[in-house]
Amino acid sequence: MIRIPKTSYHIFCNWTKLLLGTLFLCSCENHQKISLNQNLMIDTINISIGDSCLQTYTSLRNRVCEDKLYCFNKIQHSIDIFNLSTQKLSNQIKIEHEGANGITNIDAFCVYGDSIFIQNETSYTIINHQGKIIKKISREKLNNLIDNNEYSIFPTNITLSNFENLIFDNKHDELIIPINTVPPSNLKGKNCIATIDIKKEIVNLLPIYFPPTVTDKYYGKLSTAQILSKGDSIIYNFGNSSKIYIYNRRNKETYEYDIKSNFTDNLSEDLDKNVNTKKIFDHYLHSLFFHNIQYDPYRDCYYRIHTNKNNNPSAFNDKETFLTIINSNFEKTDEIKLPENTYPIYNISANGLIFFTMIGLQEDSFSYINLTTDNINKITKNYTQLDTTQKSEQIIKEEKIKKTILPSSKHSKKDSIMTTDKINSFVRENMIYPQEELKQNIEGYVLIILESDSTGNVISHRISETGTTTDNENFRKEALRIAHLVKYIYPNITFFFHVPFLVDRYFETHKKES
């Protein structure tokens, strides 16, 4: 690990649209397992779609959230949700093309709780699971919030990753994005990452700069920062190099790790700054490419995919693909060559890594491959609706604080300390469903955030708009009423929980009580 001095470096290119062609999910007639490279297991899964939806999913626009696979259905203009446990279509979110809830296209999206963050060439948008727009902010407005003479925010659909351009940081309640420089080749001393608070319409440049690996020579779009947010760390890398950087938000230091490949070079070939757009695109598509880092909360490790230089530029998918496994100390533990035609698009689940290939769809089903190795085993734990990493950090913090609390606590039994173990039953027991909403079967979620002082007294109660799916005032008032019933949590922490207004669940609770 190398700590980088607080000096400067920067990125990006102002691209015109490029349609990479329709890259469909893989298909296979049977559910089968094969063994590759000794410890690599491939499990091919078929999901029947029948007449429920059209087989138009592209490999680029899909995300896993908990045990659900979200796919953008371009022709029906919907987000289709598949249950990975039952291997069936569970829901379809219809998205309007025009009007108040209109979204013309989806280039990338991510899911957190009941919110879906969408990016396209004109805007960033938050919708709920009913397809209703919660908030939209245009690219033009965002660009006006930064120095237009030096930087440009330009959502782009030119991407080889479903993670590359859209990251939501749930801890800081903001999107983290790569930004462009003006002109695109002027990187030295420039910031390469910004945050967007969509609700407040605020853009901030983070003190993260382009490193010498992208400023000393020109690498086109391989100079774009690729981002992962985890706790107080922003982990980022660039497509041209095997180096990984970690920016610590607390001490504002940046650390460098060089996770080298044993199979390929570790630095891409550079470009002439005067090349035309076509050559920039070709360089992006066919060069040695290190994709962004992803964290696996089920196994507490990181993954990096990289593809070798294409030996046949006329064939887009003729590239060797490798998976590197990195432990929590940022030490390389394994590197695996993946099967041929594996596209560098993947999602992380309890069952393993979900990959897609370049092969087409069946008429009534689509398939994906579930990859496991000796280091990537299937996990059988149940994960709740809250983000796994964030909830784990909260529980660990509670356990540490619990050991420091003296037996002679001032809190009475009546005003006991609220914890993550108790909150769900507490909400069920105390929630009063608004009668009019109950009659009309109106439902929704409200996310509450509490903060405590050094003695554990709750000093702040508020609603998180990001994790809240409803504008219903009665729901919000009831959620805040429940929040004010919580008097004590552990000292100096932020505590969050959902108040779910679900009709069936409410009747089930009261049926048990009667």
Q: Which residues pair with 332 in a beta bridge?
A: 326
- pLDDT for residue 15: 33
CB 267 within 8 A of CB 283: no
Q: Lowest mean pLDDT of 56-65, 74-83, 322-331, 459-468, name the range.
A: 56-65
Count of CB atoms situated within 10 Å of the CB of 462: 12
Provide the pairing of β-strand 33-36 with 40-48.
Answer: antiparallel
Q: Is the pLDDT of residue 436 over 50?
A: yes
Cis, bond preceding 184 (omega within 30 deg of 0): no
CB 120 within 8 A of CB 103: yes
Q: 2-32+54-288 maps to which CATH number?
A: 2.120.10
Q: Start-end ranges of CATH 2.120.10 in the chain?
A: 2-32+54-288
Give dist(CA 494, CA 501) in Å, integer.
23
pLDDT in tens, 26-72: 333 333 444 344 478 888 877 776 665 655 565 557 788 877 888 88
> pTM for the whole thing?
0.66
In degrees and rounded to multiples of 5, residue 219 shows phi and psi of -125, 15
Structure tokens at 479: 């959620």
Across the range 84-97, mean pLDDT stands at 86
Give dist(CA 197, CA 210) in Å, integer.
23
Name the band, by pLDDT with cuts 50, 70 and 90, for residue 397. very low
Count of CB atoms situated within 10 Å of the CB of 29: 10
Across the range 418-434, mean pLDDT stands at 87
- pLDDT for residue 7: 42
Give dist(CA 344, CA 319) in Å, integer.
10
Nearest to 321 by CA among 343, 302, 299, 301: 343
Question: Could you give the count of Cα atoms lying within 13 Å of 374 in the half-sphere of its Cβ?
Answer: 8
Q: Lowest mean pLDDT of 140-144, 220-224, 333-337, 500-504, name the range.
A: 140-144
Enumerate helices (H) and strands (E) in the chain, giving the number of each: 8, 31
Q: 388-513 maps to which CATH number?
A: 3.30.1150.10
SS3 435: helix
What residue ranges in 429-491 does DSSP mark as E strands?
444-452, 458-464
Residue showing tokens 């230091």: 253
Q: Which amino acid is at 413?
A: K
pLDDT in tens, 211-237: 999 999 999 989 999 999 988 899 999
Structure tokens at 105: 């296209």
Q: Which amino acid is at 36?
A: L
pLDDT in tens, 462-477: 998 766 778 899 999 9
Sign of CA dihedral 260, 262, 263, 267: positive
Degrees to nearest 5, angle at CA 471 with 65 and 502 = 60
Across the range 101-112, mean pLDDT stands at 86
Nearest to 351 by CA among 91, 47, 42: 42
- pLDDT for residue 302: 95
Give dist(CA 115, CA 130) in Å, integer.
10
Task: Determine the distance from the C-alpha atom of residue 321 to the mean position of all C-alpha atoms in its chain, rounded to a whole number.
Answer: 22
Name the band, by pLDDT with cuts 50, 70 and 90, for residue 482. very high
Q: Start-end ranges of CATH 3.30.1150.10 in the chain?
A: 388-513
- pLDDT for residue 393: 47
pLDDT in tens, 230-268: 888 999 999 999 999 999 998 889 999 999 999 999 999
Cis, bond preceding 183 (omega within 30 deg of 0): yes
Instruction: Look at 384 and 244; give whichever has higher pLDDT.
Output: 244
